[in-house]
Amino acid sequence: MVSPESRHGIGVSPGTASGPVVQVAPPVRPPADEPAPADAEAAVAEIRAALESVAVSLEERAASADAHAQQILKATALIARDKGLMKIATKQVGEGLGPAHAISAAVESYAAQFEQLGGYFAERVTDLRDVGARAIAAVLGMPAPGVPSFTTPSVIVAHDLAPADTAVLDPALVVGIVTEGGGRTSHTAILAAQMGIPAVVQVPRASDIATGTLVALDGDSGAVTLDPDDDFLAAQAQKRERRAKAFSHATGPGETRDGHPVALLANIGGVDDAERAGELDLEGVGLFRTEFVFLSASTAPTVEEQTEIYRRVFAPFEGRRVVVRTLDAGADKPLAFADLGEEENPALGRRGLRMSAERPDLLDAQIEALAIAARETTADVRVMAPMVATAEEAAWFARRVHENGLPKAGVMIEVPAAALRAEHVLGEVEFGSLGTNDLAQYTMAADRMQGELADLLDPWQPAVLDMIAVAGDGAQRSGRPLGVCGESAGDPLLALVLVGLGISSLSMAPSKVPAVRVALSMHDLTDCQRLAHIARSAREAGEALEAVREAANAEFTQIL
Amino acid sequence: MSQKTVTIASSVGLHARPASLFVEAASATGLDVEIGRPGEDPVDATSILGVMALGAKHGEEVVLTAEGDGADEALDSLVALLSRDLDAE
């Protein structure tokens, strides 16, 4: 018997799944050698037919979608039938452009206007370009890009998924997601974890897997198995059942078996995330990334505009905690209205709080808006700064937060300098939160964007664990609570180690909370401390993981 | 020609969902309806892209114009629509 072919990627959303593959076609570009149309009228008719077919297919998908997706799809169909779009495309044909280029030019002229408007308007650019890409594929007679419609539960396979693709994914039909590109913190990874769909990224040659092939994936180990046999599927199903049973018994606030509390919180990046997470069994939000408020805008959002957004984020968390991270922009995430120019090393440049120091007006407006929204809610609003390196910076930030009447200021501990000096840095504020992704990048001097360096960025690297331990000790001496809001917090075994290192809250993608809650409930605080010691005694990352897996409660590790 | 002025009530301005509802309603009148800022060139109220590109924000005033039979009644219903916070519904 030939054992099934298996490929390994990085598991980014937990759980196992199996189903037939649905391949997502990449977007089509207008061909460079598209000839000028011989018959302008015929070319215009072609464009009209292509746009109409796009509108019809969107409406067909809307008919079977849920209410939220239906709204998006109907609005997108309206774009495809837009008179203005057709008018510009017709004019472009008159000027000698072929149908594909004419559609592209018409789409881009509106896209430029929307980007200029910023905010909510700029977000629609993705939908507009999606309509353009589909119409271009139609005039060229190529398969429509994006996720094709399908009716049986399937595994979506793509190079990477665009936000527009993921918006219309039906969690009832998409049992798993596999991508060739992406990473632990890519859009696909974050979204899949939020929707609770098992996902594996960075799978070699994933685009070659034919549509219809049966695959099984494991969102924890990162294994993707092609044509799995019945025994394999049965074993996977058994594991899934054991997990579901264990998870259903654990609810409520996080705590170790002996009752040591560890708050379980969600990482969110917008209003939709907040509304989804608000319905779940968690103690609040440990990281609210506010970049979306700023990144797509061409002018600085006003205090009023920001207040409205923050209100909507706080509303689902009445009586619970919401930790807001202030604007984290830099040369790699430039803002149209606060561009400090190109930098040789954006990760080491004027980013996070360093940029706020150059543009305090932006920070002040944000804190003011947060303070107004916080006064109108019973949510426990706390505000923290990214990219803090020194105690002076922490004090500078805390003063601004307190002056606005917000009692709880905090800092991200993601720069080694701040981890090493945590006692003094945290002494200036009310709390700290470890950003383990950046802390690993800076501790290991390995660029997060460099896929080839993934091994160095492994959160189990003993040097990173040492750095966390030092920060944990400093936090204990300062008497301030220290949480973790990086990807590490969502890895149940690593979460145990973190608790053993003195971490008091864990913030992660909401779908990762149940496994972490179960892990905590099956270990005492002293077990966690022992596991932390074992991890730090290892020579390298893989060894640390294996040693902790060996030493953890076997009843727990068998459901992993 | 009928003309009416209204303040955008939608908390997020005339973007995706409010814009879609408005364009659908404007199209349903069967009339030539235009929307614009006071004193500026108006756009076709039945074009979703045109309406969104207008970028009308919460609290901004816009002028609606329409021609033909029933233009007044049509504008009244469109004014009523824009006076509601469509995004909150």
Per DSSP, the residues of A386-438 read SS--SHHHHHHHHHHHHHTT---EEEEE-SHHHHHTHHHHHHTSSEEEE-HHH
Closest chain A residue to the Cα of B50, Cα to Cα: A84
CA distance A309 to chain B (A): 9
The overall pTM is greater than 0.90: no
Q: Is the dihedral of CA A359, A361, A362, A367 positive or negative?
A: positive
Between B83 and A531, whose confidence is greater?
A531
Q: Does B17 touch chain A (CB under 8 A)?
A: yes
pLDDT digits (tens, 9 = 90+) for B9-58: 887 788 767 888 899 999 999 999 999 999 889 999 999 999 988 888 88
Mean pLDDT for all residues in chain B:
88
A367 contacts A346 by C-beta, under 8 angstroms: no
CA distance B40 to chain A (A): 16
CA distance B62 to chain A (A): 17
Nearest to A79 among B15, B44, B49 (CB): B49
Q: Which CATH number fits domain A6-24+147-243: 2.30.30.90, 3.40.50.720, 3.90.550.10, 3.50.30.10?
A: 3.50.30.10
| CB within 8 Å: A110 and B16 | no
Q: Which residues of A are catalytic?
A: 187, 485
Of A332, A294, A352, which is closest to residue A448 (Cα–Cα)?
A332
CA distance B10 to chain A (A): 12
Of B45, B44, B8, which is closest to residue B24 (Cα–Cα)?
B45
Using alpha carbons, list the distances in angstroms from residue A462 to A10, A447, A552, B43: 20, 18, 18, 62
Give start and end residues of each alpha helix (H) in A210-288: 230-249, 271-278
Give contacts of B19 with chain A, Cβ < 8 Å: 75
Three-state secondary structure call for residue A11: strand
Give contacts of B13 with chain A, Cβ < 8 Å: 120-121
Between CA A15 and CA A339 the distance in angstroms is: 41
Nearest to B55 among A74, A121, A308 (CB): A121
Give start and end residues of each alpha helix (H) in A436-553: 436-444, 462-478, 492-500, 513-521, 525-537, 541-551
Complex ipTM value: 0.85
Give contacts of B43 with chain A, Cβ < 8 Å: 84
CA distance B35 to chain A (A): 14
Give contacts of A79 with chain B, Cβ < 8 Å: 48-49
CA distance B79 to chain A (A): 21
Using alpha carbons, list the distances in angstroms from residue B77 to B9, B42, B56: 14, 19, 19
| CB within 8 Å: B11 and A121 | no
- Does domain B2-84 correspond to CATH entry 3.40.50.460? no
- pLDDT at position A48 is 96
Nearest to B49 among A71, A85, A120 (CB): A85
User: Which CATH superfamily is A40-140 part of?
Assistant: PtsI, HPr-binding domain (1.10.274.10)
- The residue among B12, B52, B86 with the most chain A CBs within 10 A of its CB, best to mutate, is B52
Domain boundaries, chain A: 6-24+147-243, 40-140, 262-509
A388 contacts A415 by C-beta, under 8 angstroms: yes
B22-51 residues touching A, CB cutoff 8 A: 23-24, 43-44, 46-50
A527 contacts A519 by C-beta, under 8 angstroms: no
A44 burial (CB, 10 Å; 0-12 / 13-18 / 19+) is buried
A122 contacts A337 by C-beta, under 8 angstroms: no
CA distance B84 to chain A (A): 17
Nearest to B49 among A74, A82, A308 (CB): A82
Between CA A530 and CA A516 the distance in angstroms is: 18
- Sheet of A16-23: strands edge to edge? A6-8, A223-226, A214-218, A16-23, A154-158, A174-179, A199-201, A10-13
Between CA A537 and CA A546 the distance in angstroms is: 12
Residue with tokens 């198995």: A225
- The residue among B15, B49, B86 with the most chain A CBs within 10 A of its CB, best to mutate, is B49
Using alpha carbons, list the distances in angstroms from residue A485 to A53, A193, A325, A365, A426: 45, 15, 11, 25, 16
Between CA A464 and CA A457 the distance in angstroms is: 9
Give contacts of A123 with chain B, Cβ < 8 Å: 16
- The residue among A70, A117, A120 with the most chain B CBs within 10 A of its CB, best to mutate, is A120
Can you spell out the DSSP letters for A308-365? HHHHHHHGGGTTSEEEEEP---BTTB--TTS-----S-GGGSS-THHHHHH-HHHHHH
Give contacts of B32 with chain A, Cβ < 8 Å: none
Between CA A265 and CA A512 the distance in angstroms is: 10
Instruction: For chain A, 560 residues long, give each residue's pLDDT as a single digit of tens.
Output: 456 788 989 888 888 999 999 998 877 888 888 988 989 999 999 999 999 999 998 888 888 777 766 777 788 888 999 999 999 999 999 999 999 999 999 999 999 888 887 766 666 777 888 899 999 999 998 888 878 778 899 999 998 886 657 766 777 899 999 999 877 766 677 778 777 899 999 899 998 999 999 999 999 889 999 999 999 999 888 888 888 888 888 899 999 999 999 999 999 988 888 998 999 999 999 999 998 888 767 788 999 999 999 999 999 999 999 999 999 988 777 787 887 888 888 889 999 999 999 999 999 999 999 999 999 999 999 999 999 999 999 999 999 999 999 999 999 999 999 999 999 999 999 999 999 999 999 999 998 777 678 789 889 999 999 999 999 999 999 999 999 998 799 999 999 999 999 999 999 988 889 999 999 999 999 999 999 999 999 999 999 999 999 999 998 988 87
Amino acid at A16: T
Between CA A530 and CA A549 the distance in angstroms is: 12
Q: Which residues of B are catalytic?
A: 15
Between CA A510 and CA A322 the distance in angstroms is: 14
Give contacts of A121 with chain B, Cβ < 8 Å: 13, 15, 52, 55
B56-85 residues touching A, CB cutoff 8 A: none
A93 contacts A35 by C-beta, under 8 angstroms: no
- pLDDT at position A119 is 66
Three-state secondary structure call for residue A179: strand
Write the CATH number of the domain with boundaries A262-509.
3.20.20.60
Domain boundaries, chain B: 2-84
| CB within 8 Å: B49 and A128 | yes
Give contacts of B24 with chain A, Cβ < 8 Å: 78
| CB within 8 Å: A75 and B16 | yes
Q: Is the dihedral of CA B22, B23, B28, B33 positive or negative?
A: positive
Count of helix runs (H) and strand runs (E) in chain B: 3, 4
Three-state secondary structure call for residue A279: coil
- pLDDT at position A272 is 83
Between CA A304 and CA A457 the distance in angstroms is: 40
- pLDDT at position A1 is 43
- pLDDT at position A3 is 64
| CB within 8 Å: B17 and A124 | no
Amino acid at B2: S
Using alpha carbons, list the distances in angstroms from residue A446 to A330, A438, A453, A545: 18, 10, 6, 20
**What tokens were used for A225?**
């198995």
A227-234 long-range contacts, Cβ below 8 Å, gap at least 24?
Answer: A227/A4, A227/A5, A228/A4, A228/A18, A229/A1, A229/A4, A232/A4, A233/A18
